[in-house]
Structure 1
Amino acid sequence: MIKLAPIVRALGPRARVVHTGQHFDDSMSRTFLDQLRIGDPDHHLEVGGLTRGAQIGHATVAIEHLLLETRPDVVVVQGDTNSGLAGALAANAAEIPIVHLEAGLRSFDRAMPEEHNRVLIDALADRCLAPHETNARLLEAEGIAADRIRVTGSTLRDALVDMLPGDDARAALRDDLGVEADRYVLATVHRAENADSEDKLRTILTQLGDLELPVVLPLHPRTRARAAEFDLGGLLDRLTVVEPLGYREFIGLAADCALMVSDSGGVQEEATIVKRPVVIVRNSTERPEILGTFAHLVPVGPGIGDTARELLTDVAATHAALAALPYPYGDDATARCVAAIAELVGGR
């Protein structure tokens, strides 16, 4: 939703939004639609709460039926979600051109369902819109023809800059949580390999709780359910746990934190915009171009706390060093993406 929002707004009435319902919790859906000014989706499917295979299968059937009925000029899918793969499969079956926003990202970790999704989408896409030259080279190495690839940059900065609260609003957010600017850690944990593993989730929460600064943890519905199942409430009590945040609130807190700890792909890129370091709690990343600068890859274990404490040694110096670094994912990304879409459909 976040990365497609600038494109939806730029296309205006030409865009038709399909919401699969993969995220069916209001805090993961309705709030984002409203804050990103996408409005009500034109079509809403109900595939949330199913297994991965069932989600992809049900969404593919439903989207194909919709495409055969409405015959759009092009289908745009984003990222590596089950919804994205379903959209690509349905468009391929309906013989409608496919544009993949955020193409060419690779973690080379086949244990990640997202890796399978993104590889399959790129194989199907008529236009692969890569956020970085690194991604374009990876696509070419996989045999994807150069005429199917466009390096557009990432629309995330367009979305984030448009949404970032001002100083007063950010101060109010911090006051509500009882934290001070540059004196708290913002954390997110939601990926299946972390949230669904009792040992990993226990380790992550323990490492966060041992940090010297307060840790703000917007708790994903999946993680909340697993923490209750694994009886980890005592570890959550050591953190400032809040309900999932709207995008505006999340980036407002990200902009003023000391550092972030996350297993999210999007948070890694958001760190490059708000100029804050992020400890990536994963075995691999699809954004290697920011490792060692904005991002620090740490598998689940005591290294989480060790790396965080090292980054917190001199917060002001760390932030100043990152502030001097350019955004690595280009300028005018939304305009470049819209131009690539128009090029594919002959300007329609």
Structure 2
Amino acid sequence: MYSALPARSVAVILGTRPELVKLAPVVHRLGDATRLIHTGQHWDDAMSGRFLAELGLPRPEVLSSIGGTPRAVQIGRSLEQLDALFADDRPAAVVVQGDTNATLAGALAANARSVPLVHVEAGLRSHDPAMPEEHNRILVDAVSDVLCAATPDNRANLLAEGIPADRISVTGNTVVEAVRRHLPGDGRRTALLARHGLVHDRYVLATVHRPENTDGTATLRTVLTELAALATAEVPVLLPLHPRTRARIEAERLGGLLAGIRVLEPLGYGDFLALARHAALLVSDSGGIQEECTVLGRPLIVVRRSTERPESMADFADLVTPGPELGRLARLRLAEGDRGLRRLAALPSPYGDGLAAERIARLVATAAGAAGAAAGQALAS
């Protein structure tokens, strides 16, 4: 269906590993029409390179001097470089996903050049003005031509803000496809658990990386203390340590709090999904894991002050700020045992039927085709 799109005519802009995961199904649908551009927000060969290979994505164009800089610098430098790229080789459409600095820079670059903009995962709202991501997603939605809302609630958020209904489509979330495609088979999962000395449904898997949990010494200390207190000989706590979190732990001399936790190196996407699939409980501040847990059928404690994914909270997840409530809610979920896991496994994900990428790719092709036709008419006149 997308063979009519010229090669490399659709600029897909991303800057973080979660965006790689979420946009991979769309890139696979668009095929040779994709021009993948990485802003470098989370770029390193060891991590991002591994994700590209694992997700079957082409090597992207990578912008320079972005990673590790303040938010305003990331957005400004990305916007400047993207504008130069678009001036030299104008895309037929631009696709961005979510709410990162790369997303906002890509949206502004498309808008500045009057290129049709498709926003994947539009309409999420935490209603928390302290979150930089909330500002990013609101601004991107405001300038987007095609808004791909993952859920009806996301669509309702957009309508409430005055976005015209004809610009919004409920597509589902590509996370469903990503999890189904990259979750390893039974044999590989069993081998991975054996390698780590783990028993199915008898361990906790945690991730911590957001600034609200790592930048303050007291908060980071509390999170690590609560995680360590959950660990027992029968139910260990695993913590794949994000480089940013590791650096903060070392800088604040909190390494002793890791003594009761099994610290792992960062995991590839498939290995993470394999461990998450058989965890008795997930504990995380990640946005993506709030969606992935609903596909995997696992309970989750969300360690954040707010969430833009209330759909997960209905059955799969509990929202909690760092403190004793974290441990209390975690123990309640663990106490549900196999009965609780069976209940969640029987529930459908609120994020769609696994066909989101096909719907999004069709919308991208329509937007690009319409822009091309309009340009042709302008030239003819």
Q: TM-score, normalised by structure 1?
A: 0.97
Residue aligning to 2:51: 32
Whole-Å separation in 2 of the counterparts to 1:267 and 1:284: 15
Residue aligning to 2:14: none
| Deviation (angstroms), 1:234 | 0.6
Alignment of 1:164-243 (within 5 A): 164-211=183-230, 212=232, 213-243=235-265
Residue aligning to 2:135: 116
Residue aligning to 1:344: 367
The AA in structure 1 aligned to 2:365 is: A
Residue aligning to 2:165: 146
The AA in structure 1 aligned to 2:350 is: P
| Deviation (angstroms), 1:292 | 3.5
The AA in structure 2 aligned to 1:170 is: R
Query: Could you report, residue by residue, the CA deviation over 1:137-180 in whole angstroms, capped at 9, with x for unpaired residues?
Result: 00010111111111000111111111111112112221222221
Whether the 8 Å CA contact 2:303–2:322 is kept in 1: the answer is yes
Residue aligning to 2:376: none
Whether the 8 Å CA contact 2:36–2:58 is kept in 1: the answer is no
Residue aligning to 1:267: 289
Residue aligning to 1:333: 356
Residue aligning to 2:106: 87
The AA in structure 2 aligned to 1:35 is: E
The AA in structure 2 aligned to 1:150 is: S
The AA in structure 1 aligned to 2:367 is: L
- Please list every run of 5 or more consecutive structure 1 residues that lacks an aligned counterpart in the other structure: none
Whole-Å separation in 1 of the counterparts to 2:263 and 2:43: 21
Whole-Å separation in 1 of the counterparts to 2:249 and 2:265: 14
Residue aligning to 1:308: 330
Whole-Å separation in 2 of the counterparts to 1:319 and 1:266: 20
The AA in structure 2 aligned to 1:236 is: L
Whole-Å separation in 1 of the counterparts to 2:47 and 2:134: 22
| Deviation (angstroms), 1:330 | 1.5
Whether the 8 Å CA contact 1:19–1:45 is kept in 2: the answer is no
Whole-Å separation in 1 of the counterparts to 2:262 and 2:21: 25
Whole-Å separation in 1 of the counterparts to 2:43 and 2:265: 15
Aligned pairs, how many?
348
Whole-Å separation in 1 of the counterparts to 2:173 and 2:157: 17
**Quick check: 35-44 or 80-89, which moved more?**
35-44
| Deviation (angstroms), 1:207 | 0.3
| Deviation (angstroms), 1:119 | 0.7
**Quick check: 118-127 or 21-30, which moved more?**
21-30
Whole-Å separation in 2 of the counterparts to 1:117 and 1:50: 17
**Quick check: 260-269 or 160-169, which moved more?**
160-169
Report the secondary structure of 1:231's partner residue: coil
Matched, 1:47 2:66: yes
Query: Could you report, residue by residue, the CA deviation over 1:61-98 in whole angstroms, capped at 9, with x for unpaired residues?
Result: 11111111111100000011111111001111111111
Q: TM-score, normalised by structure 2?
A: 0.89
Whole-Å separation in 1 of the counterparts to 2:61 and 2:245: 30
Query: Could you report, residue by residue, the CA deviation over 1:201-228 in whole angstroms, capped at 9, with x for unpaired residues?
Result: 1101000000132111111111011011
| Deviation (angstroms), 1:43 | 4.5
Whether the 8 Å CA contact 1:276–1:294 is kept in 2: the answer is yes
**Large movers: runs of 4+ above 6 Å:** none
Instruction: Evaluate the alpha carbon distance shift between residue 304 and residue 180 of structure 1 in structure 2; reply closer, same or farther with a 3 A threshold.
Output: same
Whole-Å separation in 2 of the counterparts to 1:222 and 1:180: 29
| Deviation (angstroms), 1:44 | 4.3
Matched, 1:292 2:314: yes
Whole-Å separation in 2 of the counterparts to 1:139 and 1:238: 45
- Please list every run of 5 or more consecutive structure 2 residues that lacks an aligned counterpart in the other structure: 1-19, 373-381
| Greater Rg over alpha carbons, structure | 2
Please report the RMSD computed on the Cα atoms of aligned residues, expressed in angstroms. 1.2
The AA in structure 1 aligned to 2:245 is: T
Whole-Å separation in 1 of the counterparts to 2:106 and 2:268: 25
Report the secondary structure of 1:313's partner residue: helix
Residue aligning to 2:39: 20
Whether the 8 Å CA contact 1:105–1:286 is kept in 2: the answer is yes
| Deviation (angstroms), 1:58 | 0.6
